Structure 1
Amino acid sequence: MNPAAEWLEADGLGGFASGRADGVRTRRYHALLLAAASPPTERAVLVNGFDATVRTPDGEWAISSQRYTPDVTAPDGATHLASFTVDPWPTWTYRLPNGIEIVQELLVLRGAPVVALSWRLSGLGTRDSGLVVRPFLSGRDTHATHHANGAFDFTPRVEDDRVRWQPYADRPAVVAASNGRYAHEPVWYHNFQYDEERARGLDFVEDLAAPGTFTFDLSAGRAVLVLAADLPEAAPWIARPADACWRDVERAERARRSSFRTPLHRAAEDYVVRRGAGKTIVAGYPWFSDWGRDTFIAMRGLCIAGGRLDDARDILLEWSRHVSEGMLPNYFPEGGQPAEYNAVDASLWFCVTVHETLHASGADLPALRDAVEAIVSGYAAGTRFGIRMDDDGLLAAGVPGVQLTWMDARVDGREITPRIGKPVEVQALWINALRIAAAREPRWNDVADRASAAFTRRFWNEARGCLFDVVDVDHVPDTADASLRPNQLLAVGGLPWVLVDGARARRIVDACERALWTVAGPRSLAPGEPGYIGTYGGDMRRRDGAYHQGTVWPWLAGPFVDAWVRVHSDTPEAREEARTRFLEPLVAHYAATTPGHLAEIADAEPPHAPRGCPFQAWSVGEALRLSQELASNFSPSRCISMACERTPSRATATW
């Protein structure tokens, strides 16, 4: 058991609970009840955590631990932890010095901001045992920290087995239902220390309010504490007695979780959340909301490969309403601010995902076909930030001061990887979008033919046996960036139509495997290249400077493995080798730190420690997509790729 391993319980609305195996909160995002008042936005931390103490005739022992400044861990509950598992939900077993074992369980209900906790005796020792639980409350923005103040309202409203607190008028109230006894003992706890935030150069000290305690008789049976945000989705659950609520939540969640074939399939559902009357995908927990690019990449695995085609349709229909000048937003800010249209590739990934969704479902949705046509037409005519089709049919994009590709880090107002001009993966996506649009408007095939010919002529770098990363750099004709990056893989695998085949494709994959592949996924820049950084860490400036300068991105395992299988003749033997050689070690690498999930990034150098957002949608999505494809002799994208090889200039999409 890795005591620093992190667990996640998501509610399907954008809210969640999260923490570490040892119970020590090291992030300001580690929380017991974090709810989205306007799913998936307006998220607030309502209940941060708790202290718990077991009382017996032999003495008292803590089964919780907190971090306080300066570098103090107290009480010592983590030292009594005997085991931890996330299957089927986070479960801790504490073994006390007198032989008593306490099993603590935590689960979040899907579809409501409700977290249910229980404690029960297990093993040998005296049965005359009690439990005291003291929750810590804040009511703050999810990205902030909380500090002692006179405005916090400790006043409880007690009714039967429920207690209601409304710390701040502009945040949802907290309702606690228990089968124990509540005692009002308001007090501030000062100087909680969040080590991960300190390492990230952010505010890492917080004060929390403790309104009172819940006391339980463990000898009488299971102790139950249900915490909920006082929002409409929670109302039917918090109206029930605590014992009944626990039984109903446990029954519902056990049935739901047992329906998934694998841990990856179960993890996939954590990222699919409600937005208005539709659905969207949270890019990652704990700090991301829904992003366009991330959504369309991730849903290929989370929804299409996962068999959630209705969810895929709903997500695409929701996003299709936001096409503007050929572009889709890359980000919906919190607080109702206008959507941000600042990505060249998000709209193109949308086209690919529409195609694969309709291909897999056999459906015909005119609204989605209209959106694809609007995107391709808008890009061809020219739109924001210099995005336009050039005379050669390729897509030019970029202006100083704006990061349009997925390599979008900035430091001190400067783009680390501006990639202005004609980036290689943008061309692969653009030509795929043209082929997809040609199913409705055949005229786009002629444009795709012209762009494909230009791509073949312009992007091959014979000296290095791979593709240039950008041509016409900064819109200067006949210039090229020869940096060895993984973006070129999308010209060989990972998309419905491939742009490079034969010996050149094999040389590209071999070059990427030698210089970029790690057990954690592909590096974003090859070692030895100018600007390469092997470790991701430090304050925001240092982290952002390393983000795409070598740092490993596991989502890129999708196009890499697709390309590798393809250049190895796409045989059953090649798929099996890819599964055991690449996919299984990749999933196992991240399982040690985020069981059932994959992180956003990892260090470029061994031991390739996971970094960044610990639970990332497109990392899980691409692993799930690969798992599905490598286990099957059939995949729509692979069949289309082979058709493209046979008739590269006239491969036709099917809706």
Structure 2
Amino acid sequence: MKFSYGCNDLKDKLRAEENVFLLTNGLGGYSSLTLANSLTRNDHALLMAAIKAPDIRINMVSRLDEEIIIDGKYFNLSSQKFVDYSKNLDGEKYLINVTQEYIIAFTYLVEGIEITKEIVLAHGENTVGIKYSIYNPAKKTVTLHVTPYYQFVERGSLLQTFQEFSISDNKVESNGMALFITTTATDVLENDLEFVRDLYFNYDARDGRFAYGCAAKKLTYCYDISDSTEVDLIFSTQNTNTNVTSLIKDEYYRLEKLFRISNATSDLAKTLVRASDAYVVQRESVDGLTLIAGYPFFLDWGRDTMYTIEGACIATNRFEQSENILQTFVKYLHNGIMPNLFPEGDNPPLYNTVDASLLFIQAVYLHYKKSDDIEFVKRMYPAIVEIIDSYKNGTDFDIKMDTDGLITAGSGLMQLTWMDVRYENILPTPRHGKPVEINAYWYSGLCILEKLGNLIGEPVAEYTALIETTKINFVNKFYNASKKCLKDVVSGNDYDNQIRCNQIWAVSVPFSPLPDHIAEEVVTCVYEKLYTPYGLRTLAVEDAEFVAEYSGNLKKRDLSYHQGTVWPFPLGSYFRAYLKVNHYSDAAVKLVTKQIDHFADCLREGCVGQIAEIYDGMFPAISRGCFAQGWSVCEILKIVLELNI
């Protein structure tokens, strides 16, 4: 799917800065700016290099100043807001088109000169290439000036003006790191080192974050152009002799290969496959692959990985990557719990999750169903048994099976499910007791263990007996007959009966504990109370705790995070649940296809070709949180590939 934004989308700074682009390199590094090529967040950068994949990320090149001189007249193509607004750069007024398919391209038109800038990020490297193609039919005297802004600080940090820089034509050094520069410039202008201290990040201001930034500049690369031509500028943490054309070709070939492997044929499927690839990254500390949860804020978490892997790797037939990731998690399995955060340096892994292990079992099963790899099942089966036995007998974080066969978890200030936000000593969504989706995963996990055990000849009698007990008690404990839905938690608290999206997983799991008539009621309730075209609300609108908008400072955002805020990722499970209860009829497939068509509109908003983490609860029109979220993309991708939409 080729995304194109024209003059009407870019008519002023406000519109041109509404959306951003994201290029990633498979290491956790990225390139991301607004469509105006400006910084509106401290996390934006032309080159955010992953020095130690994926979590040590250094903002090396934050932005470029670009100026074109035509027959002696100067035109600044740059766009940026400053604290002193009188210094604002408004180059977006020359921007006539932005397109993204494999890479991102910007086209400017000034005095009969057309300038197209293409940006590409090399996969597996911290290398960003910029190609300027100039169309100069009248053969005017043209010079292009490009001035890089450097930071050399960790993502989210602030450059201090006492930081030392060594900047030459082909190398920049600071903070013990080096950046190599390859260019076809005809001249280099050297100025005094200058710290630009008053960059203004208006989207950080909107979200209650520190909104000012600083960057260093010194050299200006000059390109004299007498005819239509192309010029290159490459920044890399390694000394490279490549050119931007080669980098672009490599990225085209790489993505085309992914499309073929995944059997993605439609524009939508290809767009989502490309988007999903952004989250598959190396993790140096475990010498394996992992999955980033979201850009620009998040790293890799166990829970998010187990949701994301189903779309990013399994549905796309990337079985080698899927197995690599799952084997890495098995290596760190502890008392039946998968890590929620991997070790880094001398720090031990964190295991504060009740769902990651159960989702791991589901991922193994779906991997087998798609790949038919019995040897893989044999390697993973001992971990599945360890998880089930640990949960059954009791393990850390008060995770244990109760006498009714259901799983209970959590106490105190623990937050173990995906609704895990905690602000100081406040738990906005306490879910201690028996959460509905955890017990749906538990029941499905028992069924998977039985099925896979029988497949490879392992004894499963004790688990078979437990399956029926769990199923009966799940319905008895969770079904709310008066509301024709499922309780969110069984704990004896008032919040048990809040109408939340977690109940949808009790229908969509591979093996559901619900009889057909209750499953149908759940799907109907979720559609009526929680469905929006861009995701499911986390709480029904009529609930007294419902919050219509996710905005403001950290406390305000955290307290509203799961109180009605729309999340795209449960929508994939809603679609699957709807199809299941309607037996994948032609009418059901047609309706889901139509609803996904509506959903696809969000790929143009926020981050081009990506899906955001969250939207406002009442009117989900503006993306919030991470502008690109792994499970948001991959839960929809699974359905798109399954239905061949």
For the criterion TM > 0.5, the same-fold answer is yes
1:308 counterpart residue number: 318
Instruction: Name the SS of the counterpart of 2:547 in structure 1.
Output: coil
**How far apart are residue 199 of structure 1 and its match?**
1.5
Q: Choose from 620, 625, 628 the match for 2:638.
A: 625
- Summarize deviations over 1:443-500 as a string: whole Å, max 9, x none: 21222221111101111101101011111347xxxx871100010011111x211121
Matching residue within 300, 317, 323 for 1:290:
300
Matched, 1:489 2:509: no
| Equivalent residues of 2:537, 2:566 under 8 A apart | yes
Label 1:103 to 1:208 Cα distance change in 2 as closer, same or farther (>3 A): same
Return the letter of the residue paired with 2:367.
T
Preserved CA contact (<8 Å) 2:317 2:370? no
In the TM superposition, structure 1's runs of 4+ consecutive aligned residues that sit over 6 Å from their partners are none
Please tell me whether the aligned partners of residues 605 and 623 of structure 2 are also in contact (alpha carbons under 8 angstroms).
no
1:313 positional shift: 0.9
Q: How many residues of Structure 1 are paired with residues of Structure 2 in the alignment?
A: 607
Query: Does the alignment pair 1:549 with 2:563?
Result: yes
1: CA distance, partners of 2:520 / 2:201: 47
1:446-465 aligned within 5 A: 446-465=465-484
Q: Do the aligned residues in 2 keep the contact of 1:82 with 1:95 (CA within 8 Å)?
A: yes
Which 5+ residue runs of structure 2 have no aligned equivalent? 10-15, 265-269, 454-458
Amino acid at match of 2:96: A
Equivalent in the alignment of 1:41: 55
Offset of 1:367 from its aligned partner?
A: 3.2
Return the alpha-carbon distance in structure 2 between the equivalents of residues 15 and 409 of structure 1: 26
TM-score normalised by length of structure 1: 0.90
Question: Which structure 2 residues correspond to residues 609-624 of structure 1 after superposition, within 5 A?
Answer: 609-624=622-637
Contact 1:49 1:135 in 2 (8 A): yes
Q: Pick the aligned partner of 2:338 from 325, 328, 342.
A: 328
Please give the alpha-carbon distance, in whole angstroms, between the structure 2 residues aligned to 1:335 and 1:101: 50
Identity of aligned residues (%): 30
Counterpart of 1:19, as a letter, is L
> Structure 1 CA distance, aligned partners of 2:120 and 2:368?
35
Q: What is the CA distance between 1:561 and its match in structure 2?
A: 0.7
Which of 583, 597, 606 is 1:593 aligned to? 606
SS in structure 2 opposite 1:20?
Answer: coil
Identify which of 58, 68, 78 aligns with 2:92: 78
Select between 319-328 and 183-192 the one with higher mean Cα deviation: 183-192
Q: Please tell me whether residue 359 in structure 1 is matched to residue 366 in structure 2.
A: no
Partner of 1:640: none
Matching of residue 603 in structure 1 with residue 616 in structure 2: yes
Matching residue's letter, 1:21? L
Q: 1:392-471 to 2 correspondence within 5 Å? A: 392-438=404-450, 439-440=452-453, 441-442=459-460, 443-471=462-490
State whether structure 2 residue 193 is matched by structure 1 residue 182. Answer: no
Q: Distance in 2 between matches of 1:336 and 1:115?
A: 32
- Could you list the runs of 5+ residues in structure 1 that have no partner in the other structure? 633-655
With over 3 angstroms needed to count, the CA separation of the structure-2 counterparts of 1:138 and 1:420, relative to structure 1, is same
How big is the shift at 1:427?
A: 0.2
Post-superposition Cα deviations, 1:168-205, rounded to whole Å, max 9, x if no partner, equal: 12xx3111110103333222212101111112212111
Change beyond 3 A, Cα 1:543–1:381: same
Deviations 1:394-451 (A, max 9, x none): 0000111111010011123211111000000000011111122223241212222211
Alignment partner, residue 199 of structure 1: 206
1:98-247 correspondence to structure 2 within 5 Å: 98-122=111-135, 124-149=137-162, 151-156=163-168, 158=169, 163-169=170-176, 172-180=177-185, 181-185=187-191, 186-219=193-226, 221-230=229-238, 235=239, 238=240, 240=241, 244-247=242-245
Alpha-carbon contact 1:91-1:104 (below 8 Å) kept: yes
Contact persistence 2:232–2:243 (CA under 8 A): no
Which amino acid is 1:611 matched to?
R
Counterpart CA distance in 1 for 2:195 and 2:393 is 60
Q: Is the 8 Å Cα contact of residues 419 and 473 (structure 1) preserved in structure 2?
A: no
User: Residue 387 of structure 2: SS of its match in structure 1?
Assistant: helix
Distance 1:272 1:191 in 2: 35
Give, in angstroms, the shift of residue 335 of structure 1: 5.5
C-alpha displacement of 1:147: 2.7
Which residue of structure 1 aligns with residue 402 of structure 2?
390
Secondary structure of the residue aligned to 1:414 is coil
2:553 corresponds to which residue?
539
Q: Which moved more, 1:267-276 or 1:71-80?
A: 71-80
C-alpha distance in 2 between matches for 1:613 and 1:563: 26
Name the amino acid aligned to 2:283: R
1:267 alignment partner in structure 2:
275
Question: Residue 303 of structure 1: CA displacement?
Answer: 1.1
Measured against aligned partners, the alpha-carbon deviations of 1:116-148 in whole angstroms (never above 9, x if no partner) come to 001121265544211111101111111222231
1:70 deviates by 4.0
What is the aligned partner in structure 1 of residue 390 from structure 2?
378
Aligned equivalents of 1:75, 1:616: Cα separation in 2: 31
Matches of 2:397 and 2:473 in 1, distance apart?
Answer: 22
Q: Is the 2:38–2:63 Cα contact (8 Å) retained in structure 1?
A: no
Deviation at 1:73, TM superposition (A): 6.1
Q: Aligned in 2, Cα 1:590/1:335: closer, same or farther, shift over 3 Å?
A: farther
TM-score (norm 2): 0.91
SS in 1 for 2:27: coil
CA RMSD of aligned residues (A): 1.7
- Equivalent residue for 1:653? none
Shift of 1:341: 0.7
Supply the distance in 2 between the matched residues of 1:219 and 1:413 (Cα, whole angstroms): 65
Tell me by how many angstroms 1:290 deviates. 0.6
Cα separation, partners in 2 of 1:213 and 1:334, compared to 1, 3 Å: farther
How far does residue 393 in structure 1 lie from its aligned partner after superposition?
0.7
State the SS of the aligned residue for 1:403. Answer: coil
Deviation at 1:14, TM superposition (A): 0.7
Judge conservation of contact 2:443–2:512 (CA < 8 Å) in 1: no
Of 32, 45, 51, which residue of structure 2 is paired with 1:18? Answer: 32
Offset at 1:218? 3.0
> Corresponding residue for 2:267?
none
Match of 2:276, SS state, is: helix
SS in 2 for 1:131: strand
Structure 1 distance, partners of 2:571, 2:620, is 18
Q: Distance in 2 between matches of 1:529 and 1:63?
A: 49
Query: How much has 1:22 moved relative to structure 2?
Result: 1.1
Cα gap change, 1:330/1:472 in structure 2, threshold over 3 Å: closer, same or farther? Answer: same
